[in-house]
Structure 1
Amino acid sequence: MSNGLAGIVAAETVLSDVDGEGGRLILRGYELADLAGRVSYEAAAAVLWEGFVTDAGASALQQAIGAGRAAAYERFAGVAANGFGALEPVEAMRLLLAGIGDSDTLAAPAALVGATGVAAAMAIAASEGRGVSQPDPALPHATDLLRMISGHAPSAAAARAFETYMVTVIDHGLNASTFAARVVASTGAGLTSSLVAALSALKGPLHGGAPGPVLDMLDAIGAPENAEAWMEAALARGERIMGFGHRAYRVRDPRADVLRAALTEMGGGAGRLDQARQIEAAALAVLKRRKSGRRLDVNVEFYTALLLDALDIPRSGFTPVFAAARAAGWIAHVLEQQKTGRIIRPDSRYVGPEPLAKAG
């Protein structure tokens, strides 16, 4: 038995390879750095969907995803107008998407990516006490999504940075949410059911919820010279240093450097970036001293938090935005899983009591 299924190969995939020892992420034959910051989100989706979706070129996908945003906005507007009560943004997003049937036209791959983005934008806006403007189907997905979330047209630099983020996190092996999607897909359920399952898995604090606490940590530390003492105290209390260490990577998370470069190029949050770099160095020094048995390096969440914060996305919106970006990857895995035709059904080992012997 392997607790948490660590080291267990549960699927063969052409989609992504997470090389935890080498610190590499390969997306269908491409190094991450050859896609993120270089191609559009639609082009990255086209790479993942090749052979699974017909007419999956970047231009065709931009049109289809844009049409999906427009259709989803019309579908969701009435629900959003009534408000989401006390639901958290991810829960509001899940409510909207759950209304799309598996045989619905919005459940087509490109349309569902568009719908997931609109659901994220509406959920984030509602948490801020405002609505969102109608989508512009002619815009690239990342640009229009950022426009809907922020409430204004983004600069070219901001749109490019956000798109880099979306491509960076589009897929990442058999993580918890992706595995949840594949399990549901293996039962014969459709795309919407599988995607909602993935989104539900993403809600847990151990998967997808860490970027916000990175900013909380930076706020608590304040001046960089406080960093080492703050982290020593946190580790002494048994707390985790947010933004460092990863289940898969034994070295530096390659996504962190891509996002740091995007943030630097955008030129936003310069003061925060300088503070973060100094705190990163301090954290690595402390972790090297205190966790000498295992190398803990910076992960994707550290610079995700800084980038999304510089784009004025509220902390409560970090997980919905991640889900909108990961949607194309989830869908690729669902489509790949559907080709196997075999239900995922692992065994378990019974460790409970044996039945009592019958008297007489």
Structure 2
Amino acid sequence: MKNGLEDVIAAETQLSDVDGEAGRLIIRGVSLDHLVADGTYERVAALLLDGLMERSFDEALLRDWLAQARTKVFAHIKAADAPLIALPPVDAMRALIARLPDREDFDIALSLLAAPAVFLPAILRLQRGQTPIAPDASLPQAADILRMLTGRLPTREQTAALDTYLVTISDHGLNASTFASRVIASTRAGLTSSVLAALSALKGPLHGGAPGPVLDMLDAVGMPDNAGTWLADALDRGERLMGFGHRIYRVRDPRADALKGALKPVIASGQVDGARVELAEAVEAAALAILKARKPNRPLDVNVEFYTALLLEALGFPRQAFTGVFAIGRTVGWLAHAREQALDGRLIRPRSVYIGPLPAAA
């Protein structure tokens, strides 16, 4: 038995391949660097879902259908009462998603792709005492998310940055939330159940909750000159440096470079505080040097959470909403895995080894 199912192969998939030794991510035969070069959320969604649904479609059709789905699911916002609004954003979003029908068809898949993108901005606005903004069916998903969040049309750089983020985190092998989605799908419970199970796994701090604490770390460091001392003291206290190291990647997380690249045009356009960027760069350099010196036998490099935190903060998302934004991008991966499991897999039923007491002899 391997604790945590380390290195246990539990499924065959055509959806994504994570090569931790080479630092490479492939989605449906396309490398991540090619996907983010000119990719959009709709393009990667069409790629992941191709052949897994009962309808055929391309990126353009999916964009139109997804825009219509956003308009339809917005009606569920009226169910957001005071107790729901008081919940953490990801919990409130999960409660609204649970209102959707639980079926296996393409229409419910579209609703599930649209729902997090609509519900999260609406919840954040309600929590600030503002009125939710209805979707605009003329916009692509990334641009409409930012418009529903801020009330303003985003810049080209902002839309491209969010698109890159959504593409980058669309799928990533058999992680905890994706495995949860496949387990539920193997029971034929329905796509909504699969997404809700995956979202429940994602909200755990060991899976999807790390980007927010990256900003907490930057706030604690305060100034670039403090980076080395603060990070050394944190390691002396036995604390983990947030945004560094990954369970799979033995080298630099390729998603980190994709997000760093997406952030550069936003910085260049003056839409990010330059001091924040300077602080983050100082922390990154100091952390890599300290980790290399203290743990030379452990390959610890920047992971996806470090630049996720900076990018989402620059786009106006509060840190308590970061897990919800992650869910917006990852839902398409959950749905693709759920459909792949339902079409080709069996009921997932692993065995356990009993280590408890035996009955007393008669």
**TM-score w.r.t. length of structure 2:** 0.95
For 2:167 and 2:222, how far apart are their aligned partners in 1? 31
User: Do the aligned partners of 1:263 and 1:307 also contact (CA within 8 Å) in 2?
Assistant: yes
Deviation digits for residues 221-278 of structure 1 (CA, Å, limit 9, x no counterpart): 0112211111111111111100000111111000000100110122232332222112
Gaps of 5+ in 1: none
Letter in 1 for 2:187: T
Equivalent residue number for residue 326 of structure 2: 322
What amino acid sits opposite 2:294 in the alignment?
A: R
Per-residue deviation, 1:37: 4.1
What's the CA shift string for 1:40-61, capped at 9, x where partnerless?
Answer: 1111111111111222300111
Tell me the distance in 2 between the aligned counterparts of 1:337 and 1:105. 14
Question: Alpha carbon RMSD of aligned pairs, Å?
Answer: 1.5
- Structure-1 residue corresponding to 2:68: 67
Q: Alpha-carbon deviation of 1:85?
A: 4.6
Question: One-letter code of the match for 1:345?
Answer: R
For 1:80-95, list aligned pairs within 5 A.
80=80, 82=82, 84-95=84-95
Matched, 1:259 2:259: yes
Deviations along 1:11-50, whole A, 9 cap, x unmatched? Answer: 1111101110000000111110111141211111111111
Separation in structure 1 between the aligned mates of residue 77 and residue 68 of structure 2, nearest angstrom: 15
| Structure 1 counterpart of 2:115 | 115
Given candidates 274, 283, 286, the residue that maps to 1:282 is 286
Counterpart for residue 355 of structure 1: 359
Distance 2:58 2:111 in 1: 15
Amino acid of the structure 2 residue aligned with 1:70: T
Stretch deviating more after TM superposition (264-273 or 290-299): 264-273
Give, as a single letter, the amino acid of the residue that structure 2 aligns with 1:184.
I
Alignment correspondent of 1:39: 39
**Amino acid of the residue matched to residue 327 of structure 1?**
T
1:335 has 2:334 as partner: no
Distance change >3 Å, CA 23–CA 160, structure 1 → 2: same
Structure 1 segments, 4+ long, off by >4 Å, are 104-107
- Counterparts of 1:221-260 in structure 2 under 5 Å? 221-260=221-260
Conserved 8 A contact 2:104-2:190? no
1:302 to 282, 298, 306: 306
Flag the 1:320–1:106 CA change in 2: closer, same or farther, 3 A. Answer: farther
Larger displacement relative to structure 2 (206-215 or 285-294): 285-294
8 A Cα contact 1:37 1:161, kept in partner: no
- Distance (whole Å) between structure 2 residues aligned to residue 202 and residue 127 of structure 1: 22
- Aligned partner of 1:26 in structure 2 is 26
Q: Distance in 2 between matches of 1:127 and 1:206?
A: 26
TM-score by length of 1: 0.96
Shift of 1:120: 1.9
- Whether the aligned pair in 1 keeps the contact of 2:86 and 2:127 (CA below 8 Å) is no
What corresponds to 1:291 in structure 2? 295
- Note the C-alpha offset of 1:192: 0.4
Whole-Å separation in 2 of the counterparts to 1:277 and 1:79: 43
Find the aligned partners of 1:5 and 1:104 in 2 and give their Cα distance.
Answer: 28
SS in 1 for 2:18: strand
Is the partner of 2:84 in helix, strand or coil?
Answer: coil
Whether the 8 Å contact between 1:105 and 1:111 is mirrored in structure 2 is no
| Aligned-partner residue type, residue 300 of structure 2 | L
Shift of 1:170: 0.6
User: Over residues 190-231 of structure 1, what are the superposed CA-to-partner deviations in whole Å (9 max), with x where a residue is unaligned?
Assistant: 110000000000111111111111011011001122111111
Three-state SS of the structure 1 residue aligned to 2:249 is coil
The answer to whether the Cα contact below 8 Å between 1:132 and 1:148 also exists between their aligned partners in 2 is yes
1:107–1:194 CA distance, 2 compared to 1 (3 A): farther
Aligned partners of 2:257 and 2:74: how far apart in 1? 35
1:83 to partner: Cα distance: 5.4
For 1:194 and 1:219, how far apart are their aligned partners in 2?
36
Measure how far apart 1:124 and its partner are: 2.5
- Which residue matches 1:213? 213
Determine what percentage of the aligned residue pairs are the same residue. 53
Q: Which amino acid aligns with 1:342?
A: R
Q: CA deviation at 1:356?
A: 0.8
Query: Residue 111 of structure 1: CA displacement?
Result: 2.4
